[in-house]
Amino acid sequence: MQIKNGDIVYLIFDKRRKFLKTVKAGEKFHCDRGYIDFDDIIGKNFGTIIESKPYNHNVIILKPLPSDIILNLSRASQIIYPEDIGLILVYSGIQPGSIILEAGCGSGILTSIMAIHIQPNGHIYSFDNRIEAIKQTQKNIEKMGLQNYVTLSHNDIINDDISNIIQVECDIIMLDMATPWLAIPKIHHFLKNSGVCCCFSPVIEQVKKNHLALKANGFVEIETYELLKRKIQVREDMDATRPETRMIGHTGYITFGRKIEPYIEKKEKKEKLPTEIKNEHSEMVLKFNLDENNDK
- Beta-carbon contacts of 280 under 8 Å, excluding residues fewer than 6 positions away, are none
Residue range at the interface with a second copy (CB under 8 A); choices 102-110, 134-142, 151-159, 261-269: 261-269
Q: Which is nearer to a second copy, 28 or 266 (CB)?
A: 266
Q: Residue 47: left if φ>0, alpha if ψ -120 to 50, beta else—which one?
A: left
* Alpha-carbon distance values, 123 to 83, 157, 167 (Å): 23, 18, 12
Minimum distance between the CB of residue 55 and a second copy, rounded to whole angstroms? 5
Minimum distance between the CB of residue 186 and a second copy, rounded to whole angstroms? 19
Task: Give the Cα separation of 173 and 99 in Å (integer).
Answer: 9
Q: Which is nearer to a second copy, 104 or 127 (CB)?
A: 104
Minimum distance between the CB of residue 110 and a second copy, rounded to whole angstroms? 11
Site for a second copy in 5-24 (CB under 8 A): 12, 14-16
Cβ atoms within 10 A of the Cβ of 45, count? 11
* Contact status: 56 vs a second copy (CB under 8 A): yes
Q: Which is nearer to a second copy, 17 or 186 (CB)?
A: 17
Site for a second copy in 162-221 (CB under 8 A): 192-196, 202-208, 211-212, 215, 220-221
Q: Which is nearer to a second copy, 127 or 200 (CB)?
A: 200
Q: Which is nearer to a second copy, 142 or 226 (CB)?
A: 226
Task: Give the Cα separation of 99 and 120 in Å (integer).
Answer: 11
Task: Give the Cα separation of 199 and 174 in Å (integer).
Answer: 6
Over the window 220 to 259, marking each residue x when it contacts a second copy by CB under 8 A and - when it does not, the resulting string is: xxxxxxxxxxxxx-xxxx-xxxxxxxxxxxx--x----xx
Cis peptide before 82 (omega within 30 of 0): no
Site for a second copy in 93-132 (CB under 8 A): 93, 95-97, 113, 116-117, 119-120
Site for a second copy in 65-94 (CB under 8 A): 65-67, 70, 82-83, 85-93
Handedness of CA 139, 141, 143, 145 (dihedral sign): negative
Run of H or E residues at 10: strand 8-14
Contact yes or no for 109/81 (Cβ under 8 A): no
Q: Which is nearer to a second copy, 127 or 256 (CB)?
A: 256
Contact yes or no for 20/10 (Cβ under 8 A): yes
Contact yes or no for 224/204 (Cβ under 8 A): no
Minimum distance between the CB of residue 233 and a second copy, rounded to whole angstroms? 8
